[in-house]
Amino acid sequence: MPVTMRDVARVAGVSVKTVSNVVNDFAHVSPTTRERVRAAIDELGYQMNFTARSLSLGRTGMITLAVPELRLPYFAELSDAVIDAAGAQGYTVLIEQTGGSRDRELEVLTSARRRMTDGLILSPLGLRAGDAPVLEVDFPMVLLGERALHGRVPHVAMANVDGARAATEHLLGLGRRRLALIGTFDREGVGAGALRTRGFLEALEGAGLEHDPHRTGEALAWTRATGAEAMRAVLDRGLEVDGVVALNDVLALGAMSVLHDRGLRVPDDVAVTGFDDIEEGRFTRPSLTTVDPDRELIARTAVDLLVDRLRNGPVPADQPAPEVVADCVLRVRASSTRPG
């Protein structure tokens, strides 16, 4: 059943080299021969065996994208963008879900399955600062969304601190002074959570204010459910809240559901900001003010950096690994618009 290049060669009366030349559009094949080969291919219904080609070439044309969970809109939209960007470069994307757990992330880095693809784009959540050595891998890799985990790996980050500071300053500019912080939970201080928290605190500090830790709602995973829970926890402490800075959009949406249930109006009583600019936030009512990190750019940059490594080999030892930090833009929407 399986038709090979040799079969095609035999039927066309040429050698496998010639068939290969035709299939790969190489020069130096006479039009007559080319046509004969084409005809044989059609006649036999020949389709190239990608695995054999991969073995021979030493590359597969596939890359792995490892994200926490596709059901989180940010990662779904990011994966969408990565798949498109990779496709534009001729690569296909294999997706691994780590659930954000350190073990699964280490497994992605070390398991034999990794060798099914040419390179890896990893969006780590569970890796700790001390895990830098495991990132010392011998295959092309790009890190996403984190900074300073390891200096030798190219990575694409976003302006987490700036973005969160801008969101916070925006709320302060509305006259809100009792801000809750939703979603922080980062003992290591290396993740996006820690950076966004820092931006939040810097903004308060800049306004001469101090953050009351009782207005912090922790959330280990960043989902609507944990955002709701964190918001509930803060409100249950009985403190007044007139603004919410959520560390990402789904947390913000979860928080808004609780505010609604408690009879607090957004933005009249409580103004809310998120982070990520997921599509959902443009259609909730009120729509969600958020920080837009330009996912398309991040995805394209990550793919380009990886493809660069794939084509040109590892970063020379005397050069720093590329680090791109995407700018963030505050998108003000109804959840933080002064009523009236």
Partner DNA sequence: GGCTCTCTGGTAACCGGTTACCACTCGCAC
Partner DNA sequence: GTGCGAGTGGTAACCGGTTACCAGAGAGCC
Q: Return the one option of a second copy, DNA, none that residue 265 interacts with (CB less than 5 to 8 A, by type).
A: none
Distance, first Cα to last Cα, the chain:
73
Strand partners, 181: 216, 245
From candidates 171, 256, 272, 326, binder to a second copy by CB under 8 A: 256
CB atoms within 10 A of CB 44: 15
From candidates 53, 152, 237, 331, binder to DNA by CB under 7 A: 53
179-184 vs 141-144, strand pairing mode: unpaired
Relative orientation angle of helices 31-44 and 16-23, to the nearest 10 degrees: 90
Q: How far is the CB of 41 from DNA (least distance, A)?
A: 10
Q: Decide if residue 340 touches a second copy (CB under 8 A).
A: no
As given in the structure block, the two tokens for residue 255 are 């928080």
Q: How far is the CB of 193 from a second copy (least distance, A)?
A: 20
* Contact assessment for residue 154 and residue 309, using Cβ atoms and an 8 Å cutoff: yes
Q: How far is the CB of 167 from DNA (least distance, A)?
A: 50
Q: Decide if residue 16 touches DNA (CB under 7 A).
A: yes
- CA distances 303 to 64, 123, 158, 159, Å, are 11, 13, 15, 19
Q: Return the one option of a second copy, DNA, none that residue 256 interacts with (CB less than 5 to 8 A, by type).
A: a second copy
DSSP 223: S
Q: Which is nearer to DNA, 17 or 113 (CB)?
A: 17
Look at the block and give the residue holding tokens 């084509």: 311
| Near DNA in 204-243, by CB under 7 A | none
Q: How far is the CB of 59 from DNA (least distance, A)?
A: 10
Total residues contacting a second copy (rule CB under 8 A)?
Answer: 49
CB atoms within 10 A of CB 259: 24
Q: Decide if residue 4 touches DNA (CB under 7 A).
A: yes
Q: Which residues, other chains included, contact 243 with Cβ-Cβ below 8 Å and sequence gap of 6+?
A: 171, 174, 176, 177, 178, 179, 180, 270, 271, 272, 273, 336
Q: Which is nearer to a second copy, 115 or 214 (CB)?
A: 115
Q: How far is the CB of 13 from DNA (least distance, A)?
A: 7
Q: Decide if residue 55 touches DNA (CB under 7 A).
A: yes
3-state secondary structure of 107: helix
Q: Which is nearer to DNA, 16 or 332 (CB)?
A: 16
Q: Decide if residue 39 touches a second copy (CB under 8 A).
A: no
- CA distances 80 to 62, 119, 144, 270, 329, Å, are 15, 18, 15, 33, 21
Q: Return the one option of DNA, a second copy, none that residue 33 interacts with (CB less than 5 to 8 A, by type).
A: DNA
Contact residues for a second copy, defined by CB under 8 A: 1, 47-52, 54-55, 60-62, 69-71, 73, 76-77, 79-80, 83-84, 92-97, 112-113, 115-116, 138, 224-225, 228, 253-254, 256-257, 260-261, 279-280, 282-285, 287
Contact residues for DNA, defined by CB under 7 A: 2-6, 9, 13-18, 20-21, 23-24, 27-30, 32-33, 46, 48-49, 52-53, 55-58
